[in-house]
Amino acid sequence: TGRKQINTTMSKRTTNAKFRTVDVDQYNEDNFEDALLDGDSAGPDASGDGYLAVSDAELSKLLADNKISEALAALLAKPPVNVKSSAVKDQAANQVLRVLMHTKQSDIDRVVQALDEAHVDTLMKYVYRCFELVKENHALLLVWHEKVLARGQIGSIVRALSDRKRV
């Protein structure tokens, strides 16, 4: 009889739903991403129109002036992580690849050290993305990976590979 009384008491306690004041379904990531990319709050970024942080002409001018750090910082400041258009993401990745390939190997360490922590993680994402884009001769990308790893430690790789927001 004592056991039966405990079970009925527990069942009475669990049927009380007053503690359920938070609607956890509103925090579902899929609902959040759809709302962000479909509604008016997404702005021009959702479609990708006019999204690129730096135009190709501006990037060419920065590279011609040998302002590698400024060009890379500008590209990493606004990565297209919330854009659905793969063409925009490809174009942004190609711009970063241009900067990475334009940099002299002796300047890579200086450029990486000039970046802040958030940009280092974004750069690591782009390094992995550039491995997908370049079909041969990954030597320079491996140097970039080594320098970014030295700056961001192993956590940079973990954050780059585990983040659902792709560049």
Question: Quick check: is 151 in a domain?
Answer: yes
74: containing domain: 18-162
pLDDT at 51: 78
pLDDT tens-digit series, residues 61-104: 999 999 999 999 999 999 999 899 999 999 999 999 999 999 99
Question: Quick check: is 6 in a domain?
Answer: no
- Per the structure, how many domains does the chain have? 1
Domain containing residue 151: CATH number? 1.25.40.190
Question: Quick check: is 89 in a domain?
Answer: yes
Question: Quick check: is 1 in a domain?
Answer: no
pLDDT at 4: 56
pLDDT at 41: 41
Question: Quick check: is 12 in a domain?
Answer: no
Question: Quick check: is 72 in a domain?
Answer: yes
pLDDT at 52: 86
Burial annotation 88-105 (CB, 10 A radius, 16+ → b, else e): bbeebbebbbbbbebbee
* Residue 155 confidence (pLDDT) above 90: yes
For residue 128, the Cα-to-chain-centroid distance in whole angstroms is 11
pLDDT tens-digit series, residues 14-42: 666 666 666 666 666 665 555 445 443 44
Question: Quick check: is 7 in a domain?
Answer: no
Residues in contact with 157: Cβ distance below 8 Å, sequence separation at least 6, in sequence order? 124, 149
Question: Quick check: is 119 in a domain?
Answer: yes
